[in-house]
Amino acid sequence: MATWNSRGLRGSALENQLNLTNDKYLQNHLALIQKIPTPITPINIDKQTHHITLAYFDQKSTVDYIGSVQGIPVCFDAKECHTDTFPLANIHEHQVRFMREWERQDGIAFILISFTHRNEFYYLTMAKLNEFWERAQEGGRKSFRIEELEEEYFIKAANEAFIPYLEYLQKDLNARVDKDC
């Protein structure tokens, strides 16, 4: 069974930014997106700070965020990457299955990647994720390089706390409509 240790705080800056972004979207009645907590069972708790120092995951998580944007069901996962190469091992097979099923139900699924060393964010469409995933399943690269990504989905941050991903969700929707025409 998977366990959690102090490394569990990785991504907390990204999570904080997304939570602030989602709060702003809610205040402006643009979206209702909620963080989905991963259920854990504590094993060790620091007696002084009352922080969990060791735990195991009760079950596999699906994605980090689920909600609705103007009536469209949306789910996404947030990932951090510290190099120009993103290992697909950072995305679990059960997450890809979940996101594919989400899309079969007419929802929109995507991955939001923070390239921390570049201070850039990227909206990875489900179509592009499927392309990389299938390549790996067929024996190809088990990662993708930043040069393989579509330039128009690099998110231009509004400020240090706000990640305007809804603009890129709209680009994703427009591309889907154009493809269907």
- Please check whether residue 57 is in contact with residue 3, taking contact to mean a CB–CB distance below 8 angstroms: yes
The pLDDT value given to residue 174: 94
Report whether pLDDT(29) > 90: yes
Q: Which of 36-40, 57-61, 132-136 has the highest mean pLDDT?
A: 132-136
d(CA 161, CA 153) in angstroms, rounded, equals 19
Helices assigned H by DSSP within the chain: 12-27, 93-104, 126-137, 166-180
pLDDT score recorded for residue 1: 40
What is the CA angle 34-40-43, rounded to 5?
Answer: 150
Binding site residues, as ranges?
A: 62, 64, 77, 95
CATH (domain of 40): 3.40.1350.10
* Owning domain of residue 143: 3-180
Quick one: average pLDDT of 84-95? 95
pLDDT single digits (tens) 94-119: 999 999 999 999 999 999 999 999 98
What's the predicted TM-score (pTM) here? 0.84
Residue 10 has pLDDT above 60, yes or no: no
Please state the domain count of the chain.
1
Binding-site positions for Mg(2+) read 62, 64, 77, 95
